[in-house]
């Protein structure tokens, strides 16, 4: 299940944030926010996606740039909500 | 004492860290009125140098226009220096209402409310109008003031890829269960100089029952045949629900901004807009100066026409010289250098050649997209632009980037 969640999130990040023709490599460990792929404002789309997809509410205090900085970090965050 | 040596040291360390990251912003002192040619001290306190200004938002060249200055004097003489009050206590003069009416007429809307700045207008409008049953769907390259405004509102936030209509449509479909869907965009994007695809945005808004907000700060006064902005350019005047704009750029360049649009939205801003409710009324001199600007540009399109000619000339000249520019139609013309240090070095060399244009790099623009942002003005004459072009060519030759592709520049200087 965890592998599947990882894949779903990675696919979302690639589709949502990479422009057509952007061939930057994004994998489970890639720093997407501190690495400059996603800015802190655009990050809100990721929050909307996770909340809708997994039917959870992520409080702002938990939706930090650090928590969203890689697919692995996001998976760890989801675990806190019982999603794994 | 709260400001202890430890606190002082920690804050000083933060300042140092800004410097070591190369993000420290240094001011230059301009020792003259704003214009196409100015006297500048850089660094401040050094000898003054006469330079051509290629980085002001003085699009129509009205910042120091004698008629505007005279009108501002008249405001000072007849209505005083300041109001010492917010608008709703005792800060509203007859001229504030007159300027709001003139802006309503100019922008083709139902009503207008003045704010101390466009930043304040953007910071206050969403919180005043939207609730937690609503969603704001914003282009990812919107101005920082709108980002702040969005963060203050209770409505849900979402974003779409810059000017990507397919992505916007997906988001509109996703949020069909919300009470209000508000699409949020800049008219002209200040770092790239491109225009929002406003005709397509309005089409999608109609299809998916959404409202449209546009920030016309970099377009009011010169985009569109009579300078009414992006909405006029795309033939959708009257179809935009909320327009924010500034009096601090083309429209005189002093300060002040507004929200203009549907009557009820403007009224909600008057009742609930915190930057409106809790900061001073725009000063009378600025109000009268701004009214004069609107009179001047409503009588003739001479200035926006000259700016359009300058823009076409400049975009073509840079391209012919072998520099890479961001395509577009606005008077914001970014010259792409990609590497942050190169953008800073290039800007310094331009200054030595008598050209004032600033380099921008991450985090102001995305990583690997450093640039020199040039901005045209109706105050520029052809000889100003020719001299600026000579300087760009000279400095471009020095760094051997003329005629080079993006990849060649990146290969040489890195990202």
Read off the pLDDT of each residue in B138-150 and give the average, rounded to a whole number. 96
Same domain, B125 and B247: yes
- Same domain for B238 and B119, yes or no, is yes
Contact between residue B370 and residue B359 where contact means Cβ atoms under 8 Å apart:
yes
Give the residue from B262, B280, B299 where a domain finishes: B299
pLDDT of residue A3: 67
Q: Tell which of B281, B299, B317 closes a domain.
A: B299
Q: Determine contact: A23 vs chain B, CB below 8 A.
A: no
B168 to chain A: closest CA residue? A16
Kindly state whether residues B266 and B397 are assigned to the same domain. Answer: no
Average pLDDT, chain B: 96
CB atoms within 10 A of CB B35: 18
Q: Which of B178, B249, B326, B384 is catalytic?
A: B249
Note whether A2 contacts B: Cβ–Cβ < 8 A: no
Domain housing B72: 66-299
Identify which of A19, A36, A45 has the shortest CB distance to residue B159: A45
Please count the structural domains in chain B.
2
- Please check whether residue B193 lies inside any domain of the structure: yes
Q: Which residue of chain B is at minimal alpha-carbon distance from A38?
A: B366
Catalytic residue flag (residue B78): no
Query: Residues B265, B119: one domain?
Result: yes
Q: Domain with B318 in it: what CATH number?
A: 3.90.1150.10
- Chain B residues with CB-CB distance to A under 8 A? 138, 140, 147, 150, 156-159, 161, 174, 362-363, 366-367
Q: What is the 3-state secondary structure (H, E, C) of B24-78?
A: CCCCCEECCCCCCEEEEECCCCCCEEEEEECCCCCCCCCCCCHHHHHHHHHHHHH
Q: Known catalytic residue: B64?
A: no
My answer on whether B112 and B255 are in the same domain is yes
Model confidence, pTM:
0.94
Q: Can you give the residue range of the structural domain that contains A13? A: 2-19+26-80
Condensed to tens digits (0 to 9), the pLDDT of residues B279-297 reads 999 999 999 999 999 999 9
Q: Average pLDDT, stretch B54-77?
A: 98
Are residues B26 and B115 both part of a single domain? no
Q: Which of B96, B175, B178, B218 is catalytic?
A: B218
Residue B58 is assigned to a structural domain of this protein: no
Number of domains into which chain A is organized: 1
Q: What is the pLDDT at residue B144?
A: 93
* Domain CATH code at residue A15: 1.10.1200.10
Nearest to B109 by CA among B244, B217, B204: B244
Minimum-distance CB partner of A41 among B159, B174, B366: B159
Looking at the fold, whether B165 and B252 belong to one and the same domain comes out as: yes
B358 in any annotated domain? yes
């Amino acid at each position: 299940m965890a592998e599947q969640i990882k894949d779903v999130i990675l696919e979302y990040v690639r589709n949502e944030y990479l422009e057509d023709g952007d061939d930057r490599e994004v994998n489970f460990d890639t720093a997407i926010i501190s690495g400059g792929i996603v800015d802190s404002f655009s990050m809100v789309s990721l929050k909307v996606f996770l909340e809708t997809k997994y039917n959870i509410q992520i409080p702002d205090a938990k939706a930090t740039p650090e928590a969203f900085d890689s697919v692995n970090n996001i998976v760890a965050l989801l675990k806190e909500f019982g999603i794994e | 004492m709260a400001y202890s040596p430890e606190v002082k040291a920690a804050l000083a360390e933060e300042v140092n860290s800004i410097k070591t990251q190369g993000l420290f912003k240094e001011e230059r002192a301009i020792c003259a009125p704003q214009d196409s040619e100015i006297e500048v001290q850089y660094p401040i306190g050094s000898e003054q140098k006469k330079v051509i200004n290629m980085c002001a938002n003085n699009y129509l060249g009205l910042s120091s226009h004698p008629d505007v200055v005279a009108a501002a004097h008249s405001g000072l003489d007849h209505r005083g220096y300041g109001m010492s009050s917010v608008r709703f206590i005792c800060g509203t003069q007859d001229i504030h209402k007159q300027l709001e009416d003139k802006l309503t007429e100019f922008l083709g809307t139902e009503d207008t409310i003045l704010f101390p700045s466009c930043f304040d207008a953007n910071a206050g409008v969403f919180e005043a109008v939207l609730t937690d049953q609503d969603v704001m769907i914003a282009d990812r390259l919107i101005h920082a003031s709108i980002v702040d405004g969005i963060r203050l509102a209770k409505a849900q936030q979402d974003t779409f890829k810059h000017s990507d209509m397919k992505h916007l449509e997906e988001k509109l479909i996703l949020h069909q269960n919300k009470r209000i869907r508000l699409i949020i965009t800049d008219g002209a994007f200040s770092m790239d100089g491109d225009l929002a695809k406003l005709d397509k945005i309005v089409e999608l808004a109609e299809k998916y029952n959404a409202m449209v907000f546009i920030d016309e700060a970099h377009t009011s006064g010169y985009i569109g045949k009579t300078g009414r902005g992006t909405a006029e350019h795309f033939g959708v005047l009257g179809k935009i629900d909320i327009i924010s704009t500034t009096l601090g750029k083309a429209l005189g360049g002093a300060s002040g901004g507004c929200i203009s649009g549907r009557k009820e939205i403007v009224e909600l801003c008057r009742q609930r807009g915190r930057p409106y409710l809790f900061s001073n009324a725009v000063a009378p001199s600025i109000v009268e100066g701004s009214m004069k600007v609107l009179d001047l540009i409503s009588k003739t399109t001479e200035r926006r026409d000259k700016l359009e000619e300058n823009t076409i000339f400049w975009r073509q000249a840079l391209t012919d010289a072998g520099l890479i520019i961001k395509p577009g139609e606005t008077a914001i013309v970014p010259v792409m250098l990609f590497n942050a240090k190169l953008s800073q070095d290039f800007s310094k060399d331009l200054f030595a050649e008598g050209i004032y244009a600033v380099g921008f790099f991450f985090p102001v623009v995305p990583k690997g997209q450093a640039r020199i942002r040039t901005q045209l003005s109706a105050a520029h004459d052809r000889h100003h632009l020719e001299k600026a072009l000579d300087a760009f060519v000279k400095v471009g030759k020095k760094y051997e980037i003329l005629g080079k592709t993006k990849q060649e520049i990146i290969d040489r200087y890195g990202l």
